[in-house]
Amino acid sequence: MQGEDSRLSMTRRDLLRLVGLSAGGAAMYAVMNRLGHAAESPYQGTPVLQGTPRGASVLILGAGLAGMVAAYELRQAGYKVQVLEYNHRAGGRNWTLRGGDTYTELGGFTQHCQFDRGHYINPGPWRIPYHHRGLLDYCKKLDIPLEPFVQVNHNAYLHSSKAFGGKPQRFRTVNADYRGNLAELLAKATQQSKLDAQVSREDQALLLESLRQWGALDEKYAYVAGPGTSNRRGYDKEPGGGLSAKPLDSQPLSLHDVLGSHLWSGLSDGEGYEFQTSLLQPVGGMGRIGEAFARKLEGVIRYNAKVTAIHQDQGGVTVSYEDARRSGHVQSARADWCICTIPLSILSQIPMNVSAPMAEAIGAVPYAASVKVGLQFKRRFWEEDEDIYGGITLTDLPINTIAYPSCDFNRPGKGVLLGAYLYGLDAYQFTAMSPEERVRRVVEYGSQIHPQYRQEFENGVAVAWHRAPYTLGCFATWTDELRDKHYDNLCQIDGRIALAGEHASYLPAWQEGAVTSALDVITRIHQRVVAGGTA
């Protein structure tokens, strides 16, 4: 089931790109909204929780963003709050790996991150859309500085191992030549009166003028080599100063070559609602958010607490747990209410007495496979050699994505980039490898795009989310059918237990989903507490 859903996830991504290219941004947004990928964040500020009865208590399972948002707000409202967290740190998937960190995955593979000081990789979330207001508001409250995240860089690459002899093409080149060739075709159709039935004479004149500008066409509405096209796609020889200053125009690719390369499929990667600028990132890594929450909740979170059973009765909820580092000694915690943010992939294996509809919902939702690999190099060759400052290269190789750091631009010394972001079947195959083999394969694949890899590579880390013992997957992958059948049952308060997290939202995989889910559930629990009942 999980493998099938991962293939569906890849199909959805390709579908969104094609819809965006053929029908425009509005149609693309409509499709994304239906698939649950682009719902507008409902955040309107934190809820005002007043009238908390003295001694009211809530036990929260999981110190990811959903759990810590709930704990932060409930404690401010006067609740007695406890948080049980499996890991030795807070944040959950909000996590940054830095030099000196150690990570052990299922199977016993332990990695020791060897990045130099100041360098990092975000194995989980790595960017914040400008309209994720809830997460941004907490960054402001927690005094977490943000900086731009570069999603689209016209100087990064689009790469197909089957096109142009495997030579990567600059994004700007493919973008300019795709648009220019299409603009020329449409201009010809307009001039030949083939659009008379659809477009008035007045609009045809405006259409031609807009096509000339949009596609960098010449005075005859042709897309040919010249200053206009070179200004879009780049020059064979850049303009400069002195006697050798004159630039040389570049030769555009034909429509046949552009279409046959399939590189156009990557042109809309930054046009999806959640990937439009501005995107942001915390200075120093996404884990700064979880770390800041943890400081605010010092003394509230019990770390290395592996939940083994959850039991509710009429008076409250009792949770059994043991030390995640050494099993055997079972302890318990109890509170009036329980907010469980444990990923469904884990929760489905923990005994818990909830209603049949909630239990069925918990077991119905698969989790996506994903692998991220961070690579440290001796120098920032992507900047020094190729003028790439931030942004993303897309490829048909299994690594799928190379992302260049959006910080410390133009500084001398070493650098760390995201060498791979795999999903679907490729992620499953890499998950089956040892971390060392994953890194080796990523360097091997990446050198087809950046030959400097072979000479400049130093070390790397690889996180396969299906081997992460606290999630067993990257994020919940809902379908329309699953939502129709199970979503409401998953989100209902069941006796004295309620669930929260990105899986209980219409913003799957995004931290904003965790934030808004937590705020929703604490509001509903507070209303019941104030009303004095469980029903």
The model's pLDDT over 505-529, given as tens digits with 9 standing for 90+, comes to 999 999 999 999 999 999 999 999 9
Shared-domain flag, residues 257 and 343: no
344, pLDDT greater than 50: yes
pLDDT at 26 over 70: no
Could you tell me if residue 20 is inside a domain?
Answer: no
Residue 443, CB half-sphere, CA atoms under 13 Å: how many?
A: 21
Whole-number percent of the chain with pLDDT over 70: 92
Segment among 35-49, 234-248, 391-405 with least mean pLDDT:
35-49
Q: Are residues 240 and 189 located together in one domain of the fold?
A: yes
Least confident of 21-30, 114-123, 318-327, 460-469: 21-30
pLDDT at 195: 83
What is the pLDDT, as a whole number, of residue 7? 33
Question: What sign does the CA torsion over 297, 302, 307, 309 have?
Answer: negative
Instruction: Quote the CA–CA distance of 15 and 432 in Å, as a whole number.
Output: 28
Q: For residue 484, what is the domain's CATH number?
A: 3.50.50.60
How much is the pLDDT for 220?
Answer: 96
Q: Which of 328-332, 338-342, 371-375 has the lowest mean pLDDT?
A: 328-332
The answer, yes or no, to whether residue 129 has pLDDT greater than 70, is: yes
Same domain, 460 and 372: yes
Q: Is residue 203 one of the residues assigned to a domain?
A: yes
User: Quick one: 75 and 130 in the same domain?
Assistant: no
Query: Which residue range is the domain that position 75 belongs to?
Result: 36-85+288-365+478-531
Which range has the worst mean pLDDT, 196-210, 328-342, 420-434, 457-471? 196-210
18: pLDDT strictly greater than 50:
no
Mean per-residue pLDDT of the chain:
92
Q: Within this chain, do residues 493 and 524 fall inside the same structural domain, yes or no?
A: yes
Alpha carbons within 13 A on the beta-carbon side of 534: 14
182 and 193 co-located in one domain: yes
Q: Is 303 exposed, middle or buried (0-12, 13-18, 19+ CB in 10 A)?
A: middle
E strand segments, 22-156:
57-61, 80-84, 97-98, 102-104, 110-112, 120-121, 128-129, 146-149
Beta strand spans in 213-335 (E): 279-282, 301-302, 305-313, 316-323, 330-335
Q: What is the pTM of this model?
A: 0.90
Residue 18 one-letter amino acid? L
Domain co-membership, 400 together with 460: yes
**What is the pLDDT confidence band of residue 40, given thresholds at 50, 70 and 90?**
low
Give residue-wise pLDDT tens across range 430-474: 999 999 999 999 999 999 999 999 999 999 999 999 999 999 999
Give the HSE-up count for residue 228: Cα atoms under 13 Å, Cβ half-sphere: 14
In a domain, 426, yes or no: yes
Quick one: pLDDT at residue 44? 85
- pLDDT higher than threshold 90 for residue 241: yes
Among 87, 68, 60, residue whose Cα is nearest residue 304: 87
What does the block give as tokens for 167?
């030579």
Q: What is the DSSP string of 305-323?
A: EEEEEEEEETTEEEEEEEE
Q: What is the CATH number of the domain that holds 113?
A: 3.90.660.10
The whole-angstrom separation of Cα 459 and Cα 379 is 13
100 has pLDDT over 60: yes
**C-beta separation of 402 from 417 below 8 A:** yes
3-state secondary structure of 504: helix
Pull the structure tokens for residue 57: 């208590």
Instruction: Give yes or no: residues 315 and 244 share one domain.
Output: no
Q: How many CB atoms sit inside 10 A of residue 187's CB?
A: 22
In a domain, 226, yes or no: yes
Is 161 inside a domain boundary? no
- Which residue pairs, CB below 8 angstroms and at least 24 apart, start in 355-360? 355/489, 355/494, 355/495, 357/486, 357/489, 357/492, 358/489, 358/490, 358/492, 358/494, 358/499, 360/486, 360/489
Output the CA torsion sign for 370, 376, 382, 383. positive
Tally the domains of the chain. Answer: 3
| Residue 24 covered by a domain | no
> What pLDDT shows up at residue 42?
80
The arithmetic mean of pLDDT across residues 235-241, rounded, is 94
Tell me: pLDDT of 408 over 50: yes
Per-residue pLDDT at 422 exceeds 50: yes
Q: Between the CA of residue 129 and those of 39, 57, 280, 315, 462, what are the distances in Å?
A: 12, 34, 6, 42, 25
Which pLDDT does position 39 carry in this prediction? 52
H/E stretch holding 159 reads strand 157-159
Query: Is residue 135 assigned to a domain?
Result: yes
Say which range, 209-213, 237-241, 531-535, has the weakest mean pLDDT.
Answer: 531-535
Judged against a pLDDT cut of 90, whether residue 500 lies above it is answered with yes
DSSP code for 252: P
Residue 15 domain flag: no
Mean pLDDT of 475-488: 97
Yes or no: say if 341 and 94 are a contact pair by the CB < 8 Å rule: no
Same domain, 63 and 81: yes
Asked whether residue 203 falls in the same domain as residue 103, the answer is no
Residues 319, 336 within the same domain: yes
Mapped onto helix, strand or coil, the DSSP state of residue 393 is strand
- Same domain membership, residue 451 and residue 391: yes
CATH code of the domain in which 206 resides:
1.20.1440.240
- Amino acid of residue 275: F
Q: Does residue 30 register a pLDDT over 60?
A: no
Residues facing residue 63 across a β-bridge: none
pLDDT value, residue 532: 87
Q: Give the containing element (helix H, strand E) for 347.
A: helix 344-347
Give me the pLDDT at residue 378, please: 98
Q: Measure the CA angle with vertex 232, ends 229 and 236; round to 5°.
A: 70
